[in-house]
């Protein structure tokens, strides 16, 4: 195969980036996997190979299974919730409402904010003593709706999910609105000639053509639900107890609070494998689509 005359220039510009990615991404991943097979515990590094001891300990760790359960709850509720709310908002904005730009900005604003800022905001809203929600219910004489919110271990993870849906629904709205606006106008005209009403228009024409935006939003939300560390850490510190622990939170606590570096590396490796299960099929599907 004959090399392109621009190959030396491409190598010149891409080479440094490839080297940096190789060192700080792939080499770091390989180093983390190796550490998970050692007995490194404490601040002094130890690279003595001990096999799969850390992974055996994971299987016996009830906190690990609590983190897995919370990750699954996050995936099953947060991902479809953010997708459905975003789709609904996109459809409403597509109806040519007045002040569309203003509403679009309002809906998209939460996603533009830092997770630290929004988590702090929701922590204030969820405060059992003087939080916005309980204060509002008290003013409206709806005291039966008052709750301990994020401090109640039974509902804490669901409070986290509600806050995340609020933050990410603007992102999915933008994805879906772009997808809807990219549908050729003649598809709408043909459906209206056949007598389709608004519901049938979206049900049979619009939504079936939103597969690519749905998959894109699905992958982003899935990956975030696996690694939503900063938001949960600011909002609840993983508590009460371990009620809002996910794998990313447990990895941080085991690695940096308890200095169990090998154990934390094992959790990180499991998290990496879960992310690959989500990302690789999407990349394969995208690659096949580009070839066709």
pTM of the model: 0.89
Predicted pLDDT of residue 69: 96
Asked if the model's pLDDT at residue 259 lies above 60, the reply is yes
Backbone φ and ψ for 49, nearest 5 degrees, come out as -70, 125
Tokens matching residue 292: 């066709």
Q: For the residues 61-88, what does the mean pLDDT come to?
A: 95
Q: Measure the CA dihedral 233/236/240/245, to 10°.
A: -40
What is the structure's pLDDT at 6?
A: 67
Q: DSSP per residue over 42-86, as a string?
A: SSS----B-TTHHHHHHHH-HHHHHHHHHHHHIIIIIHHHHHHHH
pLDDT, tens only, 267-288: 999 999 999 998 888 888 877 7
What CATH superfamily is the domain 62-291?
Answer: MetI-like (1.10.3720.10)
Which segment of 10-19, 175-184, 250-259 scores lowest on mean pLDDT? 10-19
Q: What is the mean pLDDT of the chain?
A: 89
Phi, psi of 38 (to 5 degrees): -110, -175
Q: What is the enclosing helix (H) or strand (E) of 209?
A: none
Which residues on adjacent β-strands are paired with residue 100?
none
What is the gyration radius of the CA atoms in the chain, in angstroms?
A: 24
For residue 49, what are the β-bridge partners? 38
In 3-state terms the chain splits into helix, strand, coil percentages (rounded to 5) of 75, 0, 25
Residue spans of the domains in the chain: they are 62-291
User: 209-218, pLDDT tens digit by residue?
Assistant: 998 899 989 9
Above pLDDT 70, what percent of the chain? Answer: 96
* C-beta atoms surrounding 223 within 10 Å: 15
């Amino acid at each position: 195969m004959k090399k392109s005359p621009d190959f030396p220039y491409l190598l010149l510009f891409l080479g440094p980036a490839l080297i940096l990615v190789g060192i700080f991404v792939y080499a770091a991943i390989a180093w983390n996997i190796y550490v998970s097979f050692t007995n490194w515990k404490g601040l002094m590094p130890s690279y003595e190979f001990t096999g799969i001891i850390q992974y055996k300990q994971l299987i016996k760790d009830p906190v690990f299974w609590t983190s897995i359960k919370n990750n699954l709850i996050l995936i099953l509720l947060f991902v479809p919730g953010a997708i459905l709310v975003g789709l609904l908002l996109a459809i409403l904005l597509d109806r040519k409402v007045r002040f569309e730009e203003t509403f679009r900005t309002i809906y998209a604003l939460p996603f533009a904010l830092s997770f630290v800022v929004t988590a702090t905001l929701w922590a204030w809203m969820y405060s059992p003593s003087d939080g916005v929600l309980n204060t509002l219910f008290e003013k409206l004489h709806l005291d039966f709706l008052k709750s301990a919110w994020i401090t109640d271990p039974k509902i804490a993870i669901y409070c986290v999910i509600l806050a995340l849906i609020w933050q990410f629904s603007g992102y999915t709205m933008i994805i879906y609105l772009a997808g809807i606006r990219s549908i050729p106008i003649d598809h709408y005209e043909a459906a209206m000639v056949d007598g389709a009403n608004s519901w049938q228009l979206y049900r049979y024409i619009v939504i079936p053509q939103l597969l690519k935006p749905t998959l894109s939003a699905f992958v982003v939300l899935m990956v975030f639900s696996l690694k939503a560390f900063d938001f949960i850490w600011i909002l609840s510190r993983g508590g009460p107890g371990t009620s809002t622990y996910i794998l990313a939170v447990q990895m941080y606590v085991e690695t940096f609070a308890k200095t169990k570096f090998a154990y934390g590396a094992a959790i990180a490796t499991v998290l990496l494998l879960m992310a690959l299960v989500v990302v690789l099929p999407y990349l394969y599907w995208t690659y096949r689509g580009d070839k066709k």
